[in-house]
Amino acid sequence: MKTLNCFCMKPAVTKMHALVLAILAIAVTMVTVLADDVRREDGWVSLFNGEDLNGWRVSEAAAQSWSVLDGVIDCDPRTTISGQRDIWTEDSYGNFILYAEWRFTDTPTVETWPLVGPDGGQVVDESGEVVTATFANADSGIYLRGMSKAQVNIWNWPIGSGEVWGYRTDNSMPPEVRAGVTPGVRADNEPGEWNIFVITMLDDRLSVLLNGKVVINHAQLPGVAGDGPIGLQYHGGFNHETGEYLPASSLVQFRNLFVKPLD
C-alpha cells in the first residue's frame, strides 16, 4: 500500500486519544486516500456492497427514495409516503473513521441564504444588514452516532460541505464550538462530480477531510452520543402538484462507504 498522508489534529487529552492518535499517525487518517487503498487496509468495514441496502435500516417511506442504481446508493426525493426517510446502518459506532464518496446528481432549486462567517454566524455589512447569496442548491448529509444534530452537511452553500448545522446554529453553544464546526475552507467539487469525505470521531471531537483538504479540525460536539448508527439524510422533497422539487432536495448519490472502528 502506498504511503498515506497524515491528518494531524490538536493534542489529545486522554489516554484513549493518545492511543488513537498513534494509530492515525501510522496510516489511517488520510488526505489523498482512494477507495482501493481503504479496501487493502486492515480494519475497514464496508457499509455498502454495491448491490443492495443490506445492513441498512430502510423504512417503507425511505424505500421510495433510496435505492441502488448502477452500483451506487441513489436518493430520489419524489416520495408519496410520510414517515422516516433517512436510512441508518444497522450497527452502531463510537470512535471511528468513515470514508464516504458522494455527489449531487442535480441542483434543481435556486435559493437565497445568508452568508456564513468563520465564526459560524451570519455575515453583516457595514450598515449591519445581513449579506446574502443566491445559488443553485441540493442538500443531504451524514448523521453520526444516531443524532440528526451531529450531521456532517452536504450541500452547495458558499460555506462548503462538512459544516455541522445543529451545532453551528445553536446559540446556546460556546463561540468556539460554533466556529469549530464551520468549514475553514470550501473544498467541494462541482455538482455531478464525486467528492471524498474522511470523517473522524474521537469521543466528542470531529474532524472532516473533504477532497484532501481539512475543513473541520478536531471540533468539539458537546453532548454528542457515545455511539450510534451512521445515517444518510433525506432532505427536501417534491411537489407532485407542480412537478417541482422543493428547496434543498436530496438529489444525491453515495458509493464506497467504509468505516474503521477505533474503540
Helix, coil or strand: residue 210: strand
Instruction: Give the Cα separation of 106 and 249 in Å (integer).
Output: 9
Helix, coil or strand: residue 93: strand
Q: What is the model's pTM?
A: 0.88
Give residue for cell 504511503: 3
In order, the DSSP letters of 176-205 are HHHHHTS-SS--PPPTTS-EEEEEEEETTE
Instruction: Give the Cα separation of 96 and 81 in Å (integer).
Output: 34
Q: What is the gyration radius of the CA atoms in the chain, in angstroms?
A: 18
Give residue for cell 487518517: 29
| Cell output for 223 | 453532548
Cβ(194)–Cβ(35) under 8 Å?
no
Q: pLDDT tens track of the chain, all 263 residues?
A: 333 333 444 444 455 555 444 444 433 344 445 677 777 778 899 999 999 999 999 999 999 999 999 999 999 999 888 899 999 999 999 999 999 999 999 999 999 999 999 999 999 999 999 999 999 999 999 999 999 999 999 999 999 999 999 999 999 999 999 999 999 999 999 999 999 999 999 999 999 999 989 999 999 999 999 999 999 999 989 999 999 999 999 999 999 999 999 97
Instruction: Give the Cα separation of 121 and 175 in Å (integer).
Output: 9
Phi-psi sector, 262: left (phi>0), alpha (psi -120 to 50), beta = alpha
DSSP state of 26: I
Instruction: Give the Cα separation of 79 and 74 in Å (integer).
Output: 13
Burial readout 155-188 (b: 16 or more C-beta within 10 A, e: otherwise): bbbebbbbbbbbbbebeebeeebbbbbbbbeebb
Instruction: Give the Cα separation of 15 and 26 in Å (integer).
Output: 17
Cβ(159)–Cβ(183) under 8 Å?
yes
Q: Which domains does the chain have, with CATH numbers?
A: 15-261 (2.60.120.560)
Instruction: Give the Cα separation of 186 and 14 in Å (integer).
Output: 31
Instruction: Give the Cα separation of 95 and 72 in Å (integer).
Output: 26
**C-alpha 113, offset from chain centre:** 20
Q: What pLDDT does residue 228 have?
A: 98
